[in-house]
Every structure is written in C-alpha cells, then in structure tokens.
Amino acid sequence: MCCTFAEKLEEVLLKEVIYLMQKDFVLEWRQKYAFNGMLLYVGSTVFICYLSFSLRFGGLEVPVWNALYWIILLFTAVNAIAKGFAQESRGRLLYYYSVVSPQGVILAKMIYNAALMLVLSLLCFTFYAVVIGNPVQDVGMFLVTIVLGAVGFATSLTMISGIAAKAANTGTLMAVLSFPVMVPMLLMLMKMSKNAIDGLDPSVSLDEALVLLAINMIVVTVSYILFPYLWRS
C-alpha cells in the first residue's frame, strides 16, 4: 500500500481541479467575445476617467490616481467574476454535480478567476499608465500589490458570485453583497500601492501584505467549507 485514503482523495481532487480549470480556459477561448468585452470595459472606463478629469493638462494627484485605479479594478472584478457562475447553464451544473466534487468546482473557479483578474488588472495598469500617466516609483512592489489584489478579489468574489447566481436579481446582489466584504482588502491594497507609488522600502508594506494573505486564507477556507452547501440547491 503506497497511499492512504486521504492522499488518494487529495490526488482525485487535484485532478478534478486541473480538469475543471482546463475546461474554463477552453470555454473562455471559444467565447472570446466575453473576454474581449471585459477588455473593452476596462479600456473605456479608463478613458472615461481620463476625459472626465480632463487630464490633458497636468496629471492626477497621487492619492486620487491610486484610489481611481483600485475603484476601476473593483468594478471590473465584480463584472468579470459575476458571470463565472451565471454563465453555466442549469443542465451543465447538474452534470458537474453528478461527476465532480463541489470542492473541486470552487477551487478551480477560484484559480481560474485569479488568472483572469491577473490578466485584466495588469492590462488595466498598462493602459492606465499610458493614458493617465505613471507616478509609480517602485514598479516591482506595485506589481506584487496587483498580484495580491487580483488573487484577493478573485477568491472573495468567486464565493459571492456563487451566492448571487442563485438569487433573482444577480447584478445588484453581486455589488451589494461583495462591496462591504471587500472593503478591508481594498483598504490594505490601497495603502500598499500608495507605499509602492511613493517608493518606500518594501518592509513598510510587510504588515499589509501579511494581513492580505491572512484575509485570503480565511476567505478560501470558508468558501471551501461552505460551497458544498451552496451547491446542493
């Protein structure tokens, strides 16, 4: 006997997660319009900000630049991840229900959403920096913040989108349920990215980074435990 039962179970779960993620990426590739739609959403939001702050003369002040970036990202995340569960048809969900474990589904969705958010937020940063200007002094640290932010947004919004998809008015509920839950994360992220923009030493942001990781752990664990109950309906 090489493996215990728990190890076997883990192996099965890992396989499920990989399969489900592959399926999500393939689906995304086949429905490129949805992804392109998200890109256009990011692009036009940035451009609207550019126009409405009439930035042709002089840039934005640093705190405003920072806040605006994260708010754009927050709305993008809510819109991008809301479709995660809503796009799955009833029949397909029923099919998953009979073949894979719920833990596999939620983990795969989280990882997939994190990847999606990572791409979107990096593109958003690039476009934002080009159009509005780039005051960031410590780009490496800013990228680390973006990675933490993308993963954090993805994990907490995945569970919320699962909840909201079950209810009648998904769009409103998604925003209402997720904003208060995400505020602690957003505050930490803004502080961290402000430090990165000002070029402070990375050790200053260590506290924030640890809290963000802790919040992520809480969210992932709770989602992992709760999702099976959500799925049963």
Partner 1 sequence: MKLSWWKWLTIVLLLYTVIMGMLSEVPRLAILNETIRNLYFHVPMWFGMILILLVSVVYSIKYLRNPLTRNDIIAYESAKVGILFGVLGIITGMEWARFTWGEFWSNDPKQNASAIGLLIYFAYLILRGSFQDHQQRARISAVYNIFAFAALIPLLFILPRMTDSLHPGNGGNPGFNSYDLDSRLRAVFYPAVIGWTLLGVWVVHLRTRLEVLKQRFYENA
Closest to 69 (Cα-Cα) out of 136, 114, 155: 136
Using an 8 Å Cβ cutoff, are 194 and 63 in contact?
A: yes
Could you give the CA distance from residue 140 to residue 1 in angstroms, rounded to a whole number?
47
Instruction: State the sign of the Cα–Cα–Cα–Cα dihedral 231, 26, 71, 79.
Output: negative
Smallest distance, partner 1 to C-beta of residue 230, A = 5
Residue with tokens 């179970």: 9
Closer to partner 1 by Cβ: residue 77 or 219: 219
Q: How far is the CB of 79 from partner 1 (least distance, A)?
A: 18
Kindly report each contact of residues 28-35 with a partner whose C-beta sits within 8 Å and lies 24 or more positions away, as own/partner: 28/116, 34/83, 34/87, 35/116
Q: What's the min distance (Å) between Cβ of 119 and partner 1? A: 25
Binding site for partner 1 (CB under 8 A): 156, 159-160, 163, 166-169, 173, 176-177, 179-181, 183-184, 187, 207, 211, 214-215, 218-219, 222-223, 226, 229-230, 232-233
Q: Measured from the CB of residue 4, what is the shortest distance to partner 1 in angstroms?
A: 27
Closer by beta carbon to partner 1, 45 or else 103? 103
Nearer to partner 1, 93 or 218 (CB): 218
